[in-house]
Amino acid sequence: MGSSKKVNDLIQQPDNFIPPKGRTSFTAEFLPHDKNQSIIQATTDNDLRGKSDKEIEKFIKSQGGHIPQGYRARLVEIRHQTHGWTRQKQGQDALTKPTFWYKFIVEPINGYINIDELVKNLSKKNPAKKYIPNNSKEVLTILFADLQLGKIDDEGEGLGVQKTIDKFIDSVDKAIHFWRTNGKAEVHLAFAGDCIEGFATSQNGKLTWRQSLTLTEQLRLFRWILRYAIDSFVTAGVSKLEVDVVNGNHDSASSKYTGVETRPDDGHATESAIAVNEALRTNPERYGHVTIFVPKKDQDHIVRKVGSSIIAIAHGHQWSRGKSMEWLAGQALNQQSAGASHILLHGHEHEHSIKTKKTRWVICGAPFEVSSNWWKSKTGDESKRGAIAFIHQDGEAKNITLL
């Protein structure tokens, strides 16, 4: 991001640069009061009036100017002398030529996201501690929901994705501390969907413009998020690590542009999880105690035994807002597998909540997205953000914490 650039990045010149021959006078200046901007001035016979940003950038670089990645050069002033004169060589007659004086500001691009820097910052190189089997029946579950990577909403600052990543890293670090101070149980990570913002599915594709990352960049970033969380616990020395990933409505691979619907298990979040799992299998020495689960074919949720508890993981778009218990009741009435679950985990509602019956828990995760401008304008509502951590055994949850 622009704020992390060094001063020299703005005013440096390429090594061994030989400026082109011609009558261009060129200077680059650092602004002491604003370390994120620099000024470039040029006096030349090149007419840049009406030129595109690309052409202006090409001119600046041809003269040895430097525009770092994530910055742009904006033309802010032109002076035109119509009868300036010059001599091409000593002793020659003076020639009358139009002369232009330009002033450019080199400034950060608002909302620019360097995907390479993001994934680089998610890398952890610390060696893993030897994991020791834990005889406790307790399991630590950590619920992540609604990251919506690529969403542009961020109160106009253009850094929504960076803030989501920062919050995710902070939550994982807090989860490691929570794990250490609560007996170092086996760990279960549940990703309850809407892991990316997506383009072609939710809201009939109307969100295409409101994206700060391409689809492939969103997928790449989610894969690194998965790896970051897994690596963090492996490095800490967890004895057993299980990961569940389901698709949300934003993760679906269906295309509402064409009207083609695919299977509910066929989504971008689950495909990313499968790719990460395949990568982990190449290093069994480090990741042999890690298992990743996705829904079965043509299923949109997961139901399985985690430790001594039966847990269901769904995104939450399967039922109307606030109707999770009714959905569970219908699953039980018709003897579907989710009806036997002790704990249902979900997202989608963008608001952390807990519901209980005598033998049931329903835990809705808090969102990781920075903001929903549409929802805030409609209701005035904003949610606390972060992961939900809790300890469970035999279907009973305790120590439920927002991280």
CA angle (70 as vertex; 66, 76 as ends), nearest 5: 65
Nearest Cα to 190, choosing from 143, 153, 146, 230? 143
pLDDT, residue 207, reads 62
Are 379 and 278 in a shared domain? Answer: yes
Q: What is the CATH number of the domain that holds 291?
A: 3.60.21.10
In what order do the strands lie in the sheet containing 186-191?
Answer: 290-293, 241-245, 186-191, 139-144, 388-393, 396-402
Are 83 and 163 in a shared domain? Answer: no
Are 220 and 302 in a shared domain? Answer: yes
Are 89 and 159 in a shared domain? Answer: no
pLDDT, residue 260, reads 67
Are 60 and 80 in a shared domain? Answer: yes
CA angle (139 as vertex; 172, 130 as ends), nearest 5: 70
**Whether the predicted pLDDT of 62 surpasses 90:** no
Question: What distance in Å separates the CA atoms of residue 403 and residue 287, rounded to the nearest whole number?
Answer: 25
Question: What distance in Å separates the CA atoms of residue 152 and residue 212, rounded to the nearest whole number?
Answer: 6
Are 345 and 247 in a shared domain? Answer: yes
Are 245 and 165 in a shared domain? Answer: yes
The whole model's pTM is what?
A: 0.73
pLDDT, residue 362, reads 95
Are 184 and 58 in a shared domain? Answer: no
As a whole number, the mean pLDDT across the chain is: 82
Are 97 and 128 in a shared domain? Answer: no
Of 108, 125, 144, the one marking the end of a domain is: 108
Of 92, 108, 124, the one marking the end of a domain is: 108
**What domain count does the chain have?**
2
Give percent of the chain with pLDDT exceeding 70: 76
- The answer to whether the CB of 368 falls within 8 A of the CB of 385 is yes
Of 74, 108, 142, the one marking the end of a domain is: 108
Can you tell me whether residue 26 is helix, strand or coil? strand
Q: Could you list the residue range(s) of the whole structural domain that residue 17 is in? A: 2-108
Are 101 and 129 in a shared domain? Answer: no
pLDDT tens per residue, range 246-294: 998 887 877 655 566 788 888 889 999 999 999 999 999 999 999 999 9
pLDDT tens per residue, range 6-27: 445 665 555 555 555 555 677 7
Choose between 3 and 93: higher pLDDT.
Answer: 93
pLDDT, residue 160, reads 78
pLDDT, residue 3, reads 41
**Whether the predicted pLDDT of 100 surpasses 90:** no
Question: What distance in Å separates the CA atoms of residue 113 and residue 122, rounded to the nearest whole number?
Answer: 15
pLDDT tens per residue, range 121-161: 666 556 777 777 677 789 999 999 989 888 876 655 556 78
Are 58 and 196 in a shared domain? Answer: no
- The answer to whether the CB of 178 falls within 8 A of the CB of 171 is no
Question: What distance in Å separates the CA atoms of residue 37 and residue 59, rounded to the nearest whole number?
Answer: 19
Are 103 and 125 in a shared domain? Answer: no
